[in-house]
Structure 1
Amino acid sequence: MKPGPIPLEEAQARLLALAEPLAVEHVDVDGAVGRYLSAPLHARRTQPSADLSAMDGYAVTAGDLGGPWQVVGESAAGHPFTGTFGDGEAVRISTGAILPADAGAVIVQEDLGFRDGHLTLIGEAPQPAGKHIRRRGMDFAEGGEVMPAGTAIGPAQAALAMASGHRYLPVHRMPRLVVIDSGDELVADPECCEPHQIPASNGAMLTALARPLTAETIRIGPVADTMEALATAFAGAADADVIVTSGGASVGDHDLVRPALEKWGANLDFWRVAIKPGKPILVATRARPASDRPQIIIGLPGNPVSSYVTAYHFLLPLLRRMQGAGKVLPMQIKTRLSASLRANGPRREFLRGWWNGESVMPHPLQDSGALASLAASNVLIDRPSFSAATDIGDEVRVFLLQNGGIA
């Protein structure tokens, strides 16, 4: 008896168990953006390195907040005041400048005026006295952890790495990916497409989806529905860390990806997942003589929406796992429906929809071949198996499509 499709979470767990993070390399901060830390990052300096003013104003002693004061100097950013002062004296100070050694308060300049050559209080003194002071080590201290392993390096993280004293960061090598389009109906040039043909758009879609997570992505195809053509395509992908195919993963007479993989020496791990769209997905591995890491092959369905949805739930998490990401699976949020939904069957469904920040509107066309509805959507509405019919205003969970679903 043929085994039935397995649940999504089981399939994801089995796929991710096949992979380990790739080798570690050290790259400059700019080159690390979009990648993931392979080890915790610890600060090499303290920030702020001294007490700083958070406002433009005047520094005074903590015990003398009433004035008047004689201005005895200035502390500017990059040019600290080096003298001493006491009660009845003030130092002009700018935002980010080091607080003079004897100062305990900063009074903002809007609360001060001059009378008879002296600085006087015309507004309110700060309460507490240190209200406008950024204390030494407020952001981070030397030796402290500033980011854990697995952190995704974005603009803010790159700035933090540099501010904490790092020019180079340890990250995992980015995987090499080969995308193979297969199908006799596919044509490479969308401007030369006969009525019986379809532009090979899945390869471009999958390449674009995976590009932020790969060092190199090679497209092969369109590949004809023959064992010989598939064997040639797989031979051209022998050096890839990951191979993803689109089309030919089902059970039709021309669906030859599975037998071609087995003939190539790949071992099937699982085939068919209880989701809609995307049921006929397969995952296999193939040993490489020159490496202790096997190639991982993901066979995606040929229908474009099915291909996208399965890549979202399987290919992207795998690529994140191979880069050592702390979070590999896409995140969900809760929202409310703007339209009713019918009850569904035994497969978990992912419906295309548009989320406006407050509620989600399911797209009226959910056919797995409808690319326009995918392009017009920014979320996938998660409908567990055997979900009851829902009404407007009912709560649902959705997967965000931007950034592969990772915040």
Structure 2
Amino acid sequence: MISVEDARSRIFAGLRPMGDEIVALADGLGRVLAAPVVARLTQPPADVSAMDGYALRAADGVGGARLKLIGEAPAGRPFAGRVGPGEAVRIFTGSFVPEGADTILIQENADAADGFVTVRESPGQGQHIRRAGMDFAAGDVLLPAGRRLGAREIGLAAAGNHGWLRVHRRPRVAVLATGDEIALPGEDIRHGGIANANTPMLAAFIAAHGGEPVMLPPVPDDGAAIASAVDAARGADMLVTTGGASVGAHDLVLEGLSTEGFMLDFWKIAMRPGKPLLFGRVEAMPVLGLPGNPVSAFVCAVLFLGPALRVLAGGEAAAPQLEPARLGAALKPNDLREDYLRARLERDEAGWVAVPLPVQDSSMLRALAQAQALIRRPPYQEALAPGEMVEIIRLDD
């Protein structure tokens, strides 16, 4: 058996980002930039007002001064003239500051009547003016290649006048569940069968992590049937299988893969749950074989599939983020396997408290759905008492 860290490094070593494509700005959410976003304009393009009020010369803005209103400057319609001594222009937030003006008298500190404005409180020179280029200048790199696009990044690209973005293509990931006992959710299930939870769960996980899932029909525990399904998956950027990767007489994924020229990189990891995980390739297509138990499959997806999808989608190679938390219940000593316990999260004045779920069986999806985190325990960790510090992986979708 190899370690979790070693397994992840070996998976990363054989992955390359997808090629690039151009998408509309509105479709960029969650995508990873394949090229930097460079500002096509300066923002603000000129000195603009940060407040509603009056543009004037600071020298004229003394308390009690009465200035002549010579026009107004709504946002998008700059004042065409120049502000001279004893003059002011009505201005609004985002409006260009007229020539000759060097400060903004906010409307709360002014009285306007009969074509004049009276200063009640003097503004300082340059007050309430946003200078040209204060945010960015044309030619500035706004977003580097490799940046994942969220709402803030989309807004920044739009402000830089980009309607289209060059991003990495989403990896197409085929999902194949194996087992004589599994049936499509919603169908009548024969005696001895169960609903196939793994395929829709993993498809949702793949979509949430930047991939395009391709759900293949489940196949029985038959080497030839598995080989045929693997052949149908050719052309995908990655194949994920579930079940059949253990050592039982009906665990035939390796047999079916080998028929298709599978080259095994590793099999079995010193972790709980998820020991019988395998990784290799069918020609250029990476193949990640997850355990059949749904909780084991999901935990392995968090630890290996999510990070792999990040690399394929153009992001950096990184393990899931670990955060500190205090333990909410006692734990016995750990053995030689790295352990990942499902836990509820509570929060108090000192931070997060991770409470392990009382039953950690790897088939219990209801418990998994109730968990908010995984508690990571290194191999051979000693017994822990409530209140001691542990590392957690948040399970936010």
TM-score in same-fold range (> 0.5): yes
Task: Give 1:157's aligned residue.
Answer: 153
1:153-192 mapped onto 2 (5 Å cutoff): 153-192=149-188
Residue 275 of structure 1 aligns with which residue? 271
Aligned to 1:296: 286
Query: Does the 8 A contact of 1:42 with 1:147 survive in 2?
Result: yes
Q: What is the rounded CA distance, in whole Å, between the counterparts of 2:395 and 2:304 in structure 1?
A: 14
Give the match for residue 79 of structure 1.
77
Secondary structure class of the residue paired with 2:94: coil
Distance 1:340 1:74 in 2: 70
Which residue identity does 2:301 align to in structure 1? A
Cα 1:356/1:82, change in 2 over 3 Å: farther
Map 1:258-407 → 2, pairs under 5 A: 258-287=254-283, 294-326=284-316, 328-356=318-346, 358-359=351-352, 360-403=354-397
TM-score for both structures, normalised by structure 2: 0.92
Pairs aligned (count): 391
Task: Give the distance between the partners of 2:61 and 2:381, measured in 1 at CA.
Answer: 66
* C-alpha distance 174-65 of structure 1, shift in aligned 2 (>3 A): same
Match of 1:70 in 2: 68
Residue 57 of structure 2 corresponds to: 61
Q: Indicate the SS of the match to 2:216.
A: strand
CA distance in 2, matches of 1:114, 1:302: 76
Partner amino acid for 2:296? Answer: S
Cα distance change of structure 1 residues 219 and 115 upon mapping to structure 2, 3 Å threshold: closer
1:99 aligns with 2:97: yes
- State the 1:155 CA deviation: 2.1
Task: Give the counterpart of 2:16 among 17, 20, 25.
Answer: 20
> Is the 1:29–1:169 contact (alpha carbons within 8 Å) kept by the matching residues of 2?
yes
Farther off after superposition, 335-344 or 269-278: 335-344
**Hey, what's the Cα distance between the residues in 1 that align with 2:127 and 2:392?**
43
Distance 2:86 2:30 in 1: 53
Deviation at 1:131, TM superposition (A): 4.1
| C-alpha deviation, 1:190, in angstroms | 4.2
In structure 2, distance between residues paired with 1:161 and 1:362: 43
**In structure 2, C-alpha distance between the alignment counterparts of 1:387 and 1:138, rounded to whole Å:** 53
SS of the aligned residue for 2:8 comes to helix
- The whole-number CA distance in structure 2 between the counterparts of 1:77 and 1:234 is 60
List structure 1 runs of 4+ shifted beyond 6 angstroms. Answer: none
Q: Distance in 2 between matches of 1:337 and 1:122?
A: 60
Structure 1 residues 110-119 or 185-194, which shifts more? 110-119
Q: Does the residue aligned with 1:235 lie in a helix, a strand or coil?
A: helix
Tell whether the 8 Å contact from 2:36 to 2:144 is kept in structure 1 after alignment.
yes
Say which SS state the counterpart of residue 139 (structure 2) adopts.
coil
Cα gap change, 1:116/1:211 in structure 2, threshold over 3 Å: closer, same or farther? closer
C-alpha contact (below 8 Å) 2:185/2:197 kept by paired residues: no
Separation (CA, whole Å) in 2 of partners of 1:298 and 1:280: 11
User: Deviation of residue 286 (structure 1)?
Assistant: 1.8
1:116 deviates by 8.1
2:119 maps to what in 1? 121
Aligned position for 1:199: 195
Residue 304 of structure 1 deviates from its aligned partner by 0.6
Could you say what secondary structure the match of 1:318 adopts?
Answer: helix
- Asked if structure 2 preserves the Cα contact closer than 8 Å seen for 1:35 and 1:213, the reply is no
Moved more, 35-44 or 81-90: 81-90
TM-score w.r.t. length of structure 1: 0.90
Q: Which deviations, in whole Å up to 9, do the C-alpha atoms of 1:144-177 show, x marking residues without a partner?
A: 1100111112222222212212222111222221
What is the CA–CA distance in structure 2 between the aligned matches of 1:122 and 1:306, rounded to whole Å? Answer: 70
Deviation at 1:182, TM superposition (A): 0.6
Q: Which amino acid aligns with 1:313?
A: L
SS, match of residue 393 in structure 1: coil
What is residue 290 of structure 1 aligned with on the other side? none
Residue 264 of structure 1: how far off its partner (Å): 1.5
Cα distance in 1, alignment partners of residues 165 and 21 from structure 2 = 8
What is the distance in 2 between the residues matched to 1:339 and 1:50? 60
Distance 2:317 2:47 in 1: 36
SS of 1:156 mapped into structure 2:
helix
**SS of equivalent to 1:222:** coil
Asked whether the 8 Å contact 2:323–2:392 carries over to 1, the reply is yes
1:354-380 deviation line (CA, Å, top 9, x unaligned)? 334532332222211110111112222
Query: Which range is displaced more, 94-103 or 130-139?
Result: 130-139
Cα distance in 2 for residues equivalent to 1:115 and 1:174: 61
In 1, the alpha carbon distance for the partners of 2:241 and 2:57 equals 71
The answer to whether the 8 Å contact 2:225/2:256 transfers is no
1:250 aligns to 2:246 (yes or no) = yes
- Equivalence for 1:30: 26
Secondary structure of the residue that 1:25 maps to in structure 2? strand
Structure 1 residues 98 and 115: CA distance shift in structure 2, 3 A = closer
The 2-side partners of 1:63 and 1:354 are apart by 64
Deviations 1:176-232 (A, max 9, x none): 211111111212244522452111110110011102456642222321111111112
Overall identity of the aligned pairs, in %? 42
Q: Which runs of 5+ in 2 are unaligned?
A: none
